[in-house]
Amino acid sequence: MDVISVIRTKRDRGELSPEQIDWVIDAYTRGVVADEQMSALAMAILLNGMNRTEIARWTAAMIASGERMNFDALSRPTADKHSTGGVGDKITLPLAPLVAACGAAVPQLSGRGLGHTGGTLDKLESIPGWRALLSNEEMLNVLDTTGAVICAAGDGLAPADKKLYALRDVTGTVEAIPLIASSIMSKKIAEGTGSLVLDVKVGTGAFMKTIEDARELASTMVALGTDSGVKTVALLTDMSTPLGLTAGNALEVRESVEVLAGGGPQDVVDLTLALAREMLDAAGIKDADPEKALADGSAMDVWRRMIAAQGGDPDATLPVAREQHVVTAPKSGVLTRLDAYDIGVAAWRLGAGRARKEDPVQAGAGVELHAKPGDTVTAGQPLLTLHTDTPEKFEYALQTLGGSYDISAAGTSFTANPIVLDRIA
């Protein structure tokens, strides 16, 4: 077996054999296959795809590259959630403690930013002292004592995915449906959760731009989970406009805390509650009321315990970028479009994301929104505030934002997309 023949098979639109898949995943994990060779194979997969047999075997090989966890000792049923990535998607932060407050255990293994989309771990690391890296023993302890844990997958859990995940981010291969599905599901199946709710984003700010592609990805992942004994359901949710009013690490933590305190933007609250209800139903918890858990402060209590249990200070002041630049409305009227992808790229260019897999991120960088589609704006009023520690990045970000919004005449009617577009089980 050699890597060149594997690359050529997929380059020439052939089907990878089970033996080729098992070998290339194992060899890449051990360092026998180089990053540039796996990059070539990933691009061939993006361009030529994989069939269901190949995807299932690729996922199994990723799982087999490491260990599997087990939560049978917990007194609560487990429920997890995964988002395919969006702009302003801070939903995991209020969702995990909310579902825990309603009686489930939430083992949330999360990732870092990919391309223009934010990463949950990058966001939480803006909280002073908070640790993403936990041993399996520490993870189980936090989960048992607080009901929820948000952390990085350990080195022993699907290590092949950890290497490939970082490589995809910097080689233009993030959008490949087979690689998205196998990356997500290999970690979730190896993690050992009893049930899983997938938030599959659709729109300009998502990796899946069309509802058809999103359904294909969701169906693939639901099948992978179900076949592995994990009760799996997917919601297709809108990502044409950023979620909430912030895109950036500390900015999104601040907004998440507002949601847990009973406030926050309505779209973030609505999606958090929709996913919470799905997770509780999948876990077999029928009598809990997540809306009440937000209102009475019990979700906030779990958040504070969870952050403290991972070394963070829930009362600490969050980082603020040293420089700001305000983008104002050029005319009066109704804001009818605010492109999620452009906002995500601008936040990335300001320092909230990475150009190389080893790059650091700026905790305070990002974009703050002062209006959403459907709002009436006045010429000269703030539309966006850009945040960064490096002001030379403003010009680069502003290049992206020039065509990112439309303002129509006053009185123009506007109907927003529903936040949940479809459900696949």
Catalytic-role residue among 187, 188, 305, 354:
187
Same fold, 80-156+167-309 and 323-408: no
Per-residue model confidence (pLDDT) at position 86: 93
Structure tokens at 72: 């049978």
For residue 377, the cross-strand partners are 333
Instruction: Report pTM.
Output: 0.89
Burial 306-325 (b: 16+ CB within 10 A, else e): bbbbbebebeeeebebebeb
Distance separating alpha carbons of residues 267 and 171, to the nearest angstrom: 32
Please give the C-alpha separations between residue 77 and each of 23, 72, 304, in angstroms, as whole numbers: 36, 9, 22
Is 168 annotated as catalytic? Answer: yes
Is 144 annotated as catalytic? Answer: no
Q: Where are the domains of the chain?
A: 3-49, 80-156+167-309, 323-408
Distance separating alpha carbons of residues 111 and 357, to the nearest angstrom: 13
Is 82 annotated as catalytic? Answer: yes
Structure tokens at 161: 């995915």
Is 301 annotated as catalytic? Answer: no
Catalytic-role residue among 81, 123, 163, 168:
168
Structure tokens at 178: 């087979």
Class of domain 323-408: alpha beta
Q: Is the dihedral of CA 209, 210, 212, 218 positive or negative?
A: positive
| 80-156+167-309 to CATH, choices 3.90.930.12, 3.30.70.1900, 3.40.1030.10, 3.40.50.20 | 3.40.1030.10
Q: Is the dihedral of CA 337, 343, 345, 346 positive or negative?
A: positive
Distance separating alpha carbons of residues 88 and 282, to the nearest angstrom: 26
For residue 83, the cross-strand partners are 199
Is 186 annotated as catalytic? Answer: no
DSSP 8-class letter at 327 = E
Per-residue model confidence (pLDDT) at position 357: 66
Low-confidence ranges of the chain (pLDDT < 50): none
Distance separating alpha carbons of residues 344 and 166, to the nearest angstrom: 18
Catalytic-role residue among 22, 80, 122, 161:
161
Catalytic-role residue among 10, 57, 81, 82:
82
Per-residue model confidence (pLDDT) at position 123: 97
Catalytic-role residue among 65, 183, 256, 404:
183
Which residues, 6 or more positions from 11, have their beta carbon under 8 angstroms from its beta carbon? 40, 44, 48
